[in-house]
Amino acid sequence: MTTQIGFSEKFSRHNNFSHPENAERLNTMMNEIKKSSLFNKVEFIEPELLSEEVLASVHSNEQIQQIKEYSLQGEGWIDMDTYVCKSDYETARLAAGSIVQLSKNVLMGKADNAFGLVRPPGHHATQNRSMGFCLFNNIALAANEISKQKKKVLIFDLDVHHGNGTQSIFYNRKDVLYQSFHLSPHYPGTGDIDEIGIGEGKGYTVNAPLFHGNGNIAVSRLLDGIFLPIAEQFRPDIILVSSGFDSHHADLLGGLKLTANFFGKIIEKLQEIQPKIVCTLEGGYNLSWIGKCLVAQIGQMASCPVKINDSSHENTHVEPVIENIKNEIGDYWRI
């Protein structure tokens, strides 16, 4: 089993230590990998720079130019949450390029699965707006490139925040299935159950807005009752995962109650549908826990499970969410 890790020291150039999404996140996660039994069991891959042509296949020229100009100036803020540093036009293209590269490697059999340990994150970036700590949408760029090969892509988003950018990019398409569980109400305010897609894409967006305090049990019920049955019918050629570790119970910007080990359990369940899996780093801001969540996930991918001593008390009430999803999307899938 070959698990590739996309990583570059250049990702640390995107940095603002007063911001929760800063370079220390990757330092912490790399240190946790090095301390674990996984370090010699994975293959580290230096990212390839995403071409401007591929970038423009998803993002608008205005958005691209804004990041390019801010990057040349040396620093700037897109909004009150989203900063740009010197060289970020290149750094963000490296992050996206890594996910595209890893996805192609997995599809071609050069690796069994992969994890893009990249920054800045991406799932909030829409076709024409950078927001929510995200400059370009890494996972959407990869999914769009894969779809050009007539492959079907499942995007599974486990970040505590809804991936509004990813959803919007594929909202009218049926070759990319977007599934997300997330805290609600919470930033960015999207991801309601009735957001199921439009046109050809109707039924290919599945949202599970969760109650504050929901955790392993609630998400397990959603996986078994909603997400996995739909994914099995969709029959994806590859699964791309937005791995946001801010769903962990101790995260500073969260509100869900997942334990570290459960991030590996989610991968295990997705592997039953399609073993070709590529994860990309999204959120996760508790420096004491994000590395542990990461190794639990990579351990499952590398067939070398790492068990973390972690537990949480959760709100198991999720039945109304499941029933409402069935009512909303039952005409499109057997659930």
Catalytic residue among 14, 59, 123, 124: 124
On the question of a cis peptide bond just before residue 229, with omega within 30 degrees of 0, the verdict is no
Give the pLDDT mean for 144-152.
98
**How buried is residue 206: exposed, middle or buried, by Cβ count under 10 Å (0-12/13-18/19+)?**
buried
Give the pLDDT mean for 91-102.
98
Give the pLDDT mean for 187-199.
98
CA atoms within 13 A on the CB side of 259: 14
Give the pLDDT mean for 68-80.
93
Phi then psi dihedrals of residue 59, to 5 deg: -100, 150
Tell me the pLDDT band of 74, cut-offs 50, 70 and 90: confident
Structure token digits, residue 56: 């423009």
Per-residue model confidence as pLDDT tens digits over 237-264: 999 999 999 999 999 999 999 999 999 9
Which segments within 82-158 are labelled E, that is strand? 83-85, 113-116, 153-157
Cα distances from 298 to residues 38, 89, 191, 305, 315, in angstroms, run: 8, 28, 27, 8, 27
Q: What per-residue confidence (pLDDT) applies to 215?
A: 98
Give the pLDDT mean for 87-97.
98
Percent of the chain at pLDDT exceeding 70: 100
Give the pLDDT mean for 162-185.
99
Structure token digits, residue 69: 């100009």
Q: Which domains does the chain have, with CATH numbers?
A: 3-329 (3.40.800.20)
Q: Is 124 a catalytic residue?
A: yes
Q: What per-residue confidence (pLDDT) applies to 25?
A: 98
On the question of a cis peptide bond just before residue 188, with omega within 30 degrees of 0, the verdict is yes
Position 1 pLDDT exceeds 80 = no
Q: Sign (positive/negative) of CA torsion 318, 319, 320, 323?
A: positive
Position 157 pLDDT exceeds 90 = yes
Q: What per-residue confidence (pLDDT) applies to 31?
A: 97
Q: How far apart are alpha carbons 49 and 240 in whole angstroms?
A: 19
Give the pLDDT mean for 128-152.
98
Position 303 pLDDT exceeds 90 = yes
Per-residue model confidence as pLDDT tens digits over 15-44: 999 999 999 999 999 999 999 999 999 999
Q: What average pLDDT is seen over the chain?
A: 98
DSSP code at position 227: I
Position 319 pLDDT exceeds 80 = yes
Q: What per-residue confidence (pLDDT) applies to 75?
A: 86
Per-residue model confidence as pLDDT tens digits over 200-236: 999 999 999 999 999 999 999 999 999 999 999 999 9
User: Minimal CA–CA distance to 94: which of 51, 59, 53, 60?
Assistant: 51
